[in-house]
Chain A
Amino acid sequence: MDKTVNQKAWFLILPVLILVAFSAVVPLMTVVNYSIQDTFGNNQFFWVGLEWFEDILSSERMWNALGRQLSYSAIILMIEVPLGIYVALHMPKKKGFSASICLVLMSLPLLIPWNVVGTIWQIFGRVDIGLLGYTLEKLGISYNYTQNFYAAWFTLIIMDVWHWTSLVALLAYAGLQSIPDAYYQAAKIDQASRWNVFRYIELPKMQGVLMIAILLRFMDSFMIYTEPFVVTGGGPGNATTFLSIDLVKMALGQFDLGPAAAFSIMYFLVILLISWVFYTVMTTLDKRDGV
């Protein structure tokens, strides 16, 4: 849509600007402040320059947390995206009762509070009272997510798959819905194989929404805090201490303000970068759709 140039539109934006500045810019400046100063208490600060940044960048702890975080995000993306597409392809094509039921049941996990998602899997995975843990134990697989590294990771990954695959599926489904029937009929006349239909009709049409899905999932898994905090608390040891968990430990647990602030800023810069990619994808999509 071609928009009219109107500088007075700023007045409509003003409330948002003030509110978000209060809740985003002010706190962020506090963080910047801490990241370049040190304190001995009593509100006395002195300038330390980039020392905290150097500290953090050379600390093993941060790199380990980042490594765990990236592996986690990579693993869940590799499972959720193909599975989500697969599920979307099997959803009822026509709008109707069965499609509604599928949508409602699939969306349920998306609407559950994140700490309750944690609670559900904490219970579900327990060997003594949880269905998953009990079944695995009966099958002779030793499984204990509070002690065992692999079990902890397995629990967190299957939890995320359970929680978020539906989002990928719903987005992919929305993409599939926009394909006109004529495309399929043409493919049928050409006797295209199922794979070719997928590869040359469905996948290109889903490309945009899949980009959104991948970026959203990457971003949200990159900031994950509540679910692992409830299920494993970052353990066993530090096995599931992801970036956010580590940061909260540092800032609110140990009150290491300087390092925590430097950590925050680098974390935020990474997010900024991903947001920019996301924004670019969104705006090109808007243009391509000609809205």
Chain B
Amino acid sequence: MASIPAQRTRPRFNIVMVLYILFMLLPIYWLINMSLKTNAEIISTFSLWPQNLTFANYATILTDSSWYLGYVNSMIYVSINMVISLVVALPAAYAFSRYSFMGDKHLFFWLLTNRMSPPAVFALPFFQLYSSVGLFDTHIAVALAHTLFNVPLAVWILEGFMRGVPKEIDETAYIDGYSFPRFFVRIFTPLISSGIGVAAFFIFMFSWVELLLSRTLTSVNAKPIAAVMTRTVSASGMDWGVLAAAGVLTILPGALVIYFVRNHIAKGFALGRV
């Protein structure tokens, strides 16, 4: 009999988790459910699963250029942003994690404020800045605008990982005659590869999910998928199936890599500090 209380705790713990995960998944399931129905079915009948399974909504997106170009545009500026952010953030994060120098704490704080600043404040000046230099409606404009929050994010996350690498490794390498660039590329970068992966993932994600700046800075040529989606809502107002399918497709990139970063998600959101 003594073992019964111990066993009882297990089902109870499961129920909380099951309910919570159900709460997490239900809205997502509903989106997938909608994306597999025709518009006529969505409006006429209320059902928990598609009665006439159809992939027409996905076909619409993958064949209509105004839809799939949205994905292409998003992918392009997200990739540019990822490369820029990582390249400039890596040396900076190394400097912050290893050296103390004049104004280092102030700089580190200033970077944080940029990660935290509301995009709404920057929307108008960005619009004017990039219009005046002729970059409006280009991928590079959005990529540069997103460095505002992604570079600080990358610096903070990478610094968090780098401080975990013992300083003795650096010193040994220098004694062994490595120059700084060679040491950095050959020895240090492999050591923090998981950190770079996590940083890249979060750069990708925050750039992928951002709507306000990317919408403000583009009109036609570089219009991101997020903006394409909002336009469709207001224009037809009825094309729920396609809208749901577009939503499902934007979730996919995150869902595909989530397993690999599962242990680092909290760390990434907490800027490498957990």
B230 to chain A: which residues have CB within 8 Å? 115, 230
- Whether the Cβ atoms of B247 and A116 lie closer than 8 Å is yes
- Whether the Cβ atoms of A30 and B129 lie closer than 8 Å is yes
Most chain-A Cβ atoms within 10 A of its Cβ — which of B88, B116, B266?
B266
Whole-angstrom CA separation of A86 from B145 in the bound complex: 38
- Whether the Cβ atoms of B262 and A104 lie closer than 8 Å is yes
Cross-interface CB contact of B24 among A10, A105, A124, cutoff 8 Å: A105
A197 within 8 A of B: no
A9 within 8 A of B: yes
A interface size (C-beta, 8 A): 100
- Whether the Cβ atoms of B265 and A103 lie closer than 8 Å is yes
Contact residues, A125-147 vs B (CB, 8 A): 128-132, 134
Whole-angstrom CA separation of A216 from B274 in the bound complex: 13
Chain A: minimal CB distance from B8 (Å):
13
B144 to chain A: which residues have CB within 8 Å? 19, 22-23
Whole-angstrom CA separation of A111 from B256 in the bound complex: 11
A78 to chain B: which residues have CB within 8 Å? none
Chain A: minimal CB distance from B189 (Å):
14
B interface size (C-beta, 8 A): 96
Cross-interface CB contact of B216 among A20, A100, A171, A252, cutoff 8 Å: A252
A216 to chain B: which residues have CB within 8 Å? 269-270
- Whether the Cβ atoms of B147 and A23 lie closer than 8 Å is yes
Given contacts A174-B266, A272-B113, 11 further A-B contacts (CB under 8 A): A9-B99, A26-B125, A27-B126, A30-B129, A87-B17, A104-B262, A109-B24, A111-B258, A129-B46, A171-B269, A209-B270
Interface residues of B (CB under 8 A from A): 13, 16-17, 20-21, 23-28, 30-31, 34, 42-43, 46, 48, 84, 87-89, 91-92, 94-102, 104, 107-109, 111-114, 116-129, 144-145, 147-148, 151-152, 155, 163-164, 167, 205, 208-212, 216, 226, 229-230, 233, 240, 243-244, 247, 250-251, 254-255, 258-259, 262-263, 265-267, 269-271, 273-274
Mind listing 10 A-B residue pairs with CB under 8 Å?
Answer: A1-B167, A9-B98, A13-B95, A90-B13, A128-B46, A134-B46, A162-B23, A225-B118, A226-B211, A248-B212
